[in-house]
Structure 1
């Protein structure tokens, strides 16, 4: 996993400004702590920061192939899990390799098939190819958008990077945010292709962008399709097991220490169970890690949908699978440390955080990075297999709104009381959310043979895979890469996503519970306690000491922080929450006042021009 960036200018000799791409590349140092380099041609400059995972000694980037008609240069991030098979195929076609890296496989795949190489790749990746033979740039993003890639069109070319911070380091870009970007921040809705900063775009999952002197063109090379599902229940379960095992096998390939994330839920336990069995077969033991909070299990307070603490189930799973397990236990002072929040906001580039869940994930990954470089995660299973409780609540799924927002905020207009009145009126978040929801539903492919139940089920899956899952994947990518940790997500494989999308609701709920197919597919790997456990969300600290520290920090920011905070947060509302008894601060209000702290850091770090009039 790495960080990539670059600049194409058809009206400039970029070799005359070498410091530009070097500054852009430096912004991605955390994504690639092992090495960094740049490459320049007359009209293109590429930058790369490397986290060495495959072929540690080789595989340096940008990687260049010199041909008789000009150089072909690649800057690449991610992993192509089928690189060994592609390497053999390319070798059979006459290609000669000088490294063992998947990077060289992708480069030579481009030389053989051009942009059509994307149809052959299986994995998570974002990369750029500059082809000096015809002065074209190709940007590519993986099918489900596991790896990020942003771009910023200029008058005579383009600037791109793994993160906005790399793009904004270019002197021809501007860090400006208008009402449309602020809607992304306030609504919690991540629209495909949209970036918060004006003039900037995110390359959509499953898309390429080709740039030449005549302009730029995006092309969709993959998307979910609606097929009729012809397998019965047992065959569906068997196919799911077979495919998931194949995917985990592919993702266990690494030349550096590898581990799994283990929460004690079905999804992470399934990945850990498969990985642990493979490890034992090869005479090894898989490492696993979990996050917990001091006193969380002893003082756990259940609610309607969070019925159990993770720790007892983590212990059961680790014992059953015989992993080398470590609990990362966080105390309130670490979680509320302003330096940790600052690192989390810097990693995300935008104040779109999840409160303490961002900080705990950052601290978990920091601890893991001391012992491993690669981790496998269960992210994505709920979106593919209908795991969230609201999938099974007809009142929520029938509402004309994104179900995860309805589940957490109710079915009313979902106003944001923490916004200044003028900004709230200008943003019209309820109207924006309703229109975006209808557009998203209309984009979901359905099959002509689908029943009404299955049509709505597919629409729900599509909403989650294209709007909810990208937010979670972005969060995981940013928090992990901020500490130089590669997190792989086996459930976010396009083959598994397509299979899950075609399975009818009756099979997804065959045993009267959520994720029936997945539960049956991985049952042999799991202890009975995990199989019986009700879905539980990622944990949040319930420690009142943490809330008090956040309130203290909010009051200080209101007193001495950036004056522009008043344009972004309703000061009176924030002050009222910050002065309540900690036990009276509900989770929604707590996350909202944490947003104020995120805004404060963001204003300091990026000094954005606010275009909110």
Structure 2
């Protein structure tokens, strides 16, 4: 896992731009703390920061394929190809010779064999760039589900690209400008494919290719969800899900460095931890190492709410004992969550005015502690989107609200931009923006002729989650983990599993009257009964009111100073009313937004053009 960046310019000599390329590369140090490399030619510069996971000595990048002393292709690659061993064998049969045991060289040789069609052969999470000196074309590639990020910024004579916006912004050709559409995207809690929030910047779409040549920029898609008839009966479907999970977990345990799992005590992470423990035992290794996050006093003082019905700790303990895990609890307090250094690190990792508040901070701190003992972690991220785990999947009013179900159930009438200045809110038109993005998403959702109205709607809802919701969580996971040099793998994002479950009928996904029926049935044999019976509970958020009081005090300080750029967007009078009259716990999201805007607008010297 790594950080990549680069620059293609057809009307200048990039061999004289080494210092600028070095500045772009330096922004990726956290993503790749182990090594760095740069390849420069007249019109292309590719750079790489490496987190060594497979073939620690041989996998250095950028990697060049040569013939007769001339470069045929150059790659800068981030991610893991979990089927690289099979691909290596196939390419060897086709006459290719390998000098390393890294998956990067397999991908590079795959490009020489198949060109851009190599993506059809890959199973994994990846974002990479290939420069072909023969055609003078740059190919940008992103994995099917968008697990790994990749941004690009077209210029007058080429393109800048990077794993994160900060790499692009380190080049003087790029400027941090946000307009009304970008701010609406950042505020709406819907991640629109290709939208990078900053003006002029784009994301490579999940399952997408971008080609840059002298003739311009061309975009295409090599993968997208398709509607297919599901012909397996229930028993076969459950066993197929289990077979896929066994194969996926075994593949994703491959690593030359210490590996662990993230364990919350929910069905998703518990199933992964149990399957990993089983696979490691079969390999003659183990025990599985696992980590969880908790807050001081959380379990003892827990109060159920509309999101969370139970604390995690008792279930974590049950799983750890059940699978004989080498388990560690990371316990945080308010001082940890409010630490200025951690909060600045999270903003720096995010790059954009998007924050989940204490849930971002705690995730960052969890990953920071894990990194002291492991380099790779397996996460249960995306199981809720794949199997239908969220409460709104099962709420008829939310499902049929004519908008994104997660907004209909919890957020539509409590949108943080309600604290925006009136003229700013009018320009953003969040409701109109959401309507537009929802209509776009529904229009592209695949249809299966002959489906009942209920099944067709639930297919649409699943599609919304797999293309507009999970991307936000995958991005958060990537940023928080790579900020400390930790690689987090997400087995539930394996495209084979996603495609199979997407096409299973909703009646089958809820056959036992509960959420995630297929996953529960497929893994119940390796889980303690307490977890099998547990109702879905999201990632934890502190319930300590002292945390909310501290946020309110900080916003009050910004109000008193009167110099924060956040109030170019946020209405000071509304903010003062919230600070002085509302219970702090009721306005946590608004307080977090103001503090995020204050830091982001200042630290990134953002120009507002609304």
Work out the CA distance in 1 between the residues paired with 2:103 and 2:414. 49
Q: Is the 8 A contact 1:562 1:600 kept in 2?
A: no
Runs of at least 5 residues in structure 1 that lack an aligned partner in the other structure: none
SS in 2 for 1:23: helix
Work out the CA distance in 2 between the residues paired with 1:109 and 1:195. 29
Deviation sequence 1:140-182 (CA, Å, 0-9, x none): 0000000000000001100000000000111111111111110
Q: Is the 8 A contact 1:229 1:502 kept in 2?
A: yes
Deviates more, 1:200-209 or 1:301-310: 301-310
Cα displacement (A) at 1:139? 0.4
Q: In the alignment, what sits opposite 1:371?
A: 373
Work out the CA distance in 2 between the residues paired with 1:104 and 1:126. 14
Deviation sequence 1:512-553 (CA, Å, 0-9, x none): 101111110111110000000000011100001111111121
Q: In the alignment, what sits opposite 1:319?
A: 321
Equivalent pairs, count: 608
Cα displacement (A) at 1:216? 1.4
Q: Is the 8 A contact 2:34 2:51 kept in 1?
A: yes
Q: In the alignment, what sits opposite 1:215?
A: 216
Work out the CA distance in 1 between the residues paired with 2:191 and 2:599. 21
Work out the CA distance in 1 between the residues paired with 2:482 and 2:379. 14
Q: In the alignment, what sits opposite 1:13?
A: 13
Deviation sequence 1:209-229 (CA, Å, 0-9, x none): 111111111110000000000
TM-score (norm 2): 0.98
Deviation sequence 1:178-226 (CA, Å, 0-9, x none): 1111001221221000011100000000001111111111110000000
Deviation sequence 1:472-502 (CA, Å, 0-9, x none): 0000000000000000000011111101110
- Asked if 1:153 corresponds to 2:154, the answer is yes
- Asked if 1:585 corresponds to 2:587, the answer is no
Cα displacement (A) at 1:574? 2.1
SS in 1 for 2:272: helix
User: How do residues 150-549 of structure 1 correspond to structure 2 at under 5 angstroms?
Assistant: 150-281=151-282, 282-410=284-412, 412=413, 416-549=417-550
1:368–1:443: structure 2 CA closer, same or farther, 3 Å change rule? same
Deviation sequence 1:425-467 (CA, Å, 0-9, x none): 1111011111211211111101102111110010000000000
SS in 1 for 2:97: coil
SS in 1 for 2:212: strand
The ranges of structure 1 where at least 4 consecutive aligned residues each deviate by more than 4 angstroms after the TM superposition are 412-415
Q: Superposition RMSD on alpha carbons, in Å?
A: 1.2
Work out the CA distance in 1 between the residues paired with 2:585 and 2:419. 14
Q: Is the 8 A contact 1:37 1:62 kept in 2?
A: yes
1:563–1:121: structure 2 CA closer, same or farther, 3 Å change rule? same
Cα displacement (A) at 1:415? 7.4
Q: Is the 8 A contact 2:548 2:585 kept in 1?
A: no
- Asked if 1:41 corresponds to 2:41, the answer is yes
Q: Is the 8 A contact 1:152 1:199 kept in 2?
A: yes
Q: Is the 8 A contact 1:400 1:438 kept in 2?
A: no
SS in 2 for 1:610: strand
Q: In the alignment, what sits opposite 2:25?
A: 25
Cα displacement (A) at 1:351? 1.4
Runs of at least 5 residues in structure 2 that lack an aligned partner in the other structure: none
Work out the CA distance in 1 between the residues paired with 2:410 and 2:585. 12
Q: Is the 8 A contact 2:64 2:71 kept in 1?
A: no
1:433–1:218: structure 2 CA closer, same or farther, 3 Å change rule? same
Q: Is the 8 A contact 1:341 1:359 kept in 2?
A: yes
Q: Is the 8 A contact 1:561 1:600 kept in 2?
A: no
SS in 2 for 1:280: helix
Work out the CA distance in 2 between the residues paired with 1:562 and 1:375. 42
Deviates more, 1:596-605 or 1:34-43: 596-605
Cα displacement (A) at 1:283? 3.0
Work out the CA distance in 2 between the residues paired with 1:349 and 1:175. 10
Deviates more, 1:448-457 or 1:460-469: 448-457
1:436–1:395: structure 2 CA closer, same or farther, 3 Å change rule? same
Work out the CA distance in 1 between the residues paired with 2:329 and 2:312. 11
